[in-house]
Homo-oligomer: A and B are copies of this chain.
């Protein structure tokens, strides 16, 4: 695998510069080598200072976001779609300015519990918006990855197969999928097979438990997940994500429906997740070697 990372919301609700800098330090302290930020409005934060801090700590920055409803590129009215495209372009530039390498998340629709079915026109608008954003991202040196999420957080891309179809429709080979075990547990008939289906088009990977709490505190069969990541020789980043009411970004908490404390202390959570992921990966490698050794 590439770098092992952690979502900044384990550390901070993300409202202050100080909170973000602290998150960078905490991530580095725990040995994580990439961090995931939500989209940061450039006018509210000193992006340059964050970029330098990250670089000095050798922590790579990735950014994820979901569009708001009034900037949904899968809408069917032109004004909303245009607003979405502008927001995506701004986000790409903010990622560049913060020294990040990646923009992911629900870039292709709103991050919301929809109250309408998806439409063909909306799909086309979204495909076009992502294709345009990809052009901007290439110029800015930023990778685009589209997060496939569960039905309650988008109505457009709930499965890997849908995501791959969407990628095909963009006609771009520089946009990839962003898969997440929490979402796959709800949507995929066989999550490990979905990872193998994605293959080299998997660009970013989220490890989250089925209840979004401690790894091991749910139903996900992580052994098969790590086996599949080795099957496709996945070399890109793996990022741990967990949400609790203990650390709150209000918007994300509501979008993700976080009503419970699955944990209250973030330090032991972060330490456990790193140990868990590294152990599972080591075991998958050993299992693979054992299986192949005559």
- Hey, which bits of chain A sit against chain B, CB under 8 A? 113-118, 150-152, 155, 158-162, 164-166, 185-191, 193-194, 197, 210-211, 213-214, 216-221, 223-224, 227, 231, 245, 254, 257-260, 262, 275-276, 279, 283, 286-288, 290-294
Residue of A155, A158, A275, A286 ringed by the most chain B CB atoms within 10 A = A286
Cα distance A190–B160 when bound, in Å? 24
A-B pairs with beta carbons under 8 Å apart, 14 shown? A114-B254, A151-B260, A152-B257, A155-B259, A160-B291, A164-B294, A186-B210, A189-B217, A189-B287, A193-B291, A216-B223, A216-B286, A218-B287, A219-B220
A213 lies within 8 A of B260 (CB): no
A12 to B230, CA, bound (A): 34
Cα A279 to Cα B274 with chains together (Å):
12
Asked if A290 and B189 sit within 8 Å, CB to CB, the answer is: yes
CB distance from A98 to the nearest CB of B (A): 29
Q: In the complex the two chains form, is A165's CB within 8 Å of B294's CB? A: yes
Q: Is the CB of A152 within 8 A of B113?
A: yes
Shortest beta-carbon distance from A217 to chain B in Å: 5
CA distance A187 to B290 in the complex (A): 10
Copies in the complex: 4
Is there contact, CB below 8 Å, between A283 and B162? Answer: no
Extra contacts besides A166-B294, A193-B288 (11): CB < 8 Å: A151-B258, A151-B260, A155-B259, A158-B260, A164-B294, A186-B211, A189-B291, A194-B291, A197-B292, A216-B223, A216-B287
Please report the C-alpha to C-alpha distance between residue A288 and residue B42 in the assembled complex, in whole angstroms.
44
Q: Is the CB of A292 within 8 A of B113?
A: no
Chain B residue at minimal CB-CB distance from A213? B290
CA distance A117 to B159 in the complex (A): 29
Alpha-carbon distance between A27 and B148 when the two chains are bound, in angstroms: 36
Q: In the assembled complex, how far is the CB of residue A169 from the closest CB belonging to chain B, in whole angstroms? A: 10
- The complex places the Cα of A154 from the Cα of B111 at a distance, in Å, of 18
Closest to A163 in B: B294
**In the complex, chain B residues whose CB is within 8 Å of the CB of A186:** 185-186, 210-211
Nearest CB of B to A110, in Å: 13
Chain B residue with Cβ nearest A169: B294
